[in-house]
Structure 1
Amino acid sequence: MSKCLLCLRVSMQSSFHLPQEIPAASRGACLVSGLGSGDGEQEATLALLHVLRREGLRVAAMTPVISDARRVGGRWISPLLSELCQASSFLDLPVQALCPYLLRNGIYHESAGGGDGRVQIRPIAETFAALSMWSDAVVVKGMDGLSKRLGARLSTCDVASRLALPLVICLRHGPSIQSRLSQALKQARRRDIAVVGWIATGCDPSVVTVLEELSQGAGLHCLGAITKVPRSELELIYGLNLDVIYRRLRLRSTTTNRLACH
């Protein structure tokens, strides 16, 4: 499977054209991003991967850029990417299939597709398109916030806009959560990015009512809450509202149960 994905990605490089061939708002696809590095993008992405896979969907993970890559024995490894891969339906994919750009010691190394190492949209779009062909859903993890610059002319927000990816906002719970939610919404709406909903991370279960009130005030769906330091897959997905996630990602639910945070 991994060789097929990589071969498909390479073969697409000569024929993939932007933006016409990017599938607009692909069913089941989304980009997960907060406003900064502490908002729990990894946690929220893992939670969505786990909950969709538990429903029997073929779900893939990817990210445009990863920051913890290193080369060992002639191959790239990344603990963060390995964690995403293990939560997906494709457990044996190499890092090159999940992320076109690897960051080590502050220097970008393009792991596939050639080029001069500058972060560009084309390899990211090709990675997404290849994974989409094998998956019912693709969950794309952002990198350190919507406004994070991935390259001279590319931000996380740009990736969502160019790939027509609906946005799942994730924000660490705290005193400024309301203003930060408003800020994230403004950033998305300025670029006409569809917002699926939002996930609160680092929560105490007692704040669920407050989160629902925040969501109503913002006119936004609350997809759930991830409690502080989840120690297992079940704890990670416990607070997610499966019904809302399926409806907002335009997926056909195979269950009527809710993983509600009550």
Structure 2
Amino acid sequence: MTKALSVFITGTDTEIGKTLVSAALLRGFAHLGLHAAAMKPIVAGAVEVDGVWHNEDADVLDAAANAPLPPELRTPYLLKAPAAPHIVAEREQVTLDIEHIVACHQQALERADVVVVEGVGGFRVPLDGERDTADLARALQLPVVLVVGMRLGCINHALLTADAIKARGLKLVGWVANRVDPSMQFADENIATIRAWLQRDHHAPLLGVVPRLDPPSPEAAANHLDTDALLAALRAHAA
């Protein structure tokens, strides 16, 4: 049996389209004939519907996956308040256990051909007083895709995040430019700059440019991503 593949999706900030890109990759993998599962290990922000707590991003991933996971594997830690996870976890008396997430991920790998793991916030969001989401990515030992929200300041954020990924001993296998600000000036020039620097310093190719979509749709976004190239990179990384 071929070993399942997995990838960690991080971003330059919060609210820059990680979930849209993650869902689009899930749809892309499904179109390639793979059983694709999604994990959103930690979420902060939930609403109760008919006695069941839901998070909007986790529900979007569920809808995009063709190998759905039970909630306790997809989202081991569902926090109620929409704020920094370490703050909410302390208030809700929850310990964000990285080892538990790793164990859930191992179970997810047994249920799919590829598992897309979406982080929370940016790459270095604290989980407690000592560990952050970079530690989670390192514990999972996954290659990383960086989603860059195209807006003022994105070049600095992209390069700093890429360096942080490398500093943790992880491989940046590609990045996605997401046009979150349709009025951004010199967007194409910004993309070209990030593309050149990430290719030169990290050998990380641009996997696609997602335009501003109204409404946002994983299927539509998938048409702008080179899922074949990412799949090849994941297979090479796993070899």
Instruction: Provide the TM-score with structure 1 as the length reference.
Output: 0.75
SS of 1:138's partner is strand
Shift of the 56–171 alpha-carbon distance from structure 1 to 2, 3 Å rule, reads same
Aligned runs of 1:1-262 on 2, under 5 Å?
Answer: 28-91=5-68, 93-105=69-81, 107-108=88-89, 117-202=94-179, 211-212=191-192, 214-219=194-199, 220-231=204-215, 232-250=217-235
Instruction: Quote the Cα distance in structure 1 between the aligned partners of 2:107 and 2:127.
Output: 21
SS of 1:249's partner is helix
Unaligned runs of 5+ in 2: none
Shift of the 217–49 alpha-carbon distance from structure 1 to 2, 3 Å rule, reads same
- Structure 2: which amino acid aligns with 1:236? A
- Structure 1: which amino acid aligns with 2:207? L
Is the radius of gyration larger for structure 1 or structure 2?
1
Q: Could you tell which deviates more after superposition, 225-234 or 149-158?
A: 225-234
Instruction: Quote the Cα distance in structure 2 between the aligned partners of 1:42 and 1:140.
Output: 10
SS of 1:127's partner is helix
- Structure 2: which amino acid aligns with 1:218? L
Q: Could you tell which deviates more after superposition, 57-66 or 75-84?
A: 75-84
Instruction: Provide the TM-score with structure 2 as the length reference.
Output: 0.81
Deviation of 1:75 (Å): 3.0
Deviation of 1:193 (Å): 0.9
After superposition, the CA RMSD in angstroms is 2.4
Over residues 19-40 of structure 1, what are the superposed CA-to-partner deviations in whole Å (9 max), with x where a residue is unaligned?
Answer: xxxxxxx753111111211321
Over residues 192-212 of structure 1, what are the superposed CA-to-partner deviations in whole Å (9 max), with x where a residue is unaligned?
Answer: 1111110111266x9568635
SS of 1:200's partner is strand
SS of 2:95's partner is coil
Instruction: Quote the Cα distance in structure 1 between the aligned partners of 2:131 and 2:214.
Output: 32
Percent identical among aligned pairs is 23
Instruction: Quote the Cα distance in structure 2 between the aligned partners of 1:78 and 1:214.
Output: 32
Instruction: Quote the Cα distance in structure 2 between the aligned partners of 1:44 and 1:180.
Output: 18
Q: Tell whether the 8 Å contact from 2:4 to 2:109 is kept in structure 1 after alignment.
A: no
Instruction: Quote the Cα distance in structure 1 between the aligned partners of 2:56 and 2:70.
Output: 12
Which structure has more relative contact order (CA 8 Å, sep 6+)? It is 2
Shift of the 209–229 alpha-carbon distance from structure 1 to 2, 3 Å rule, reads same
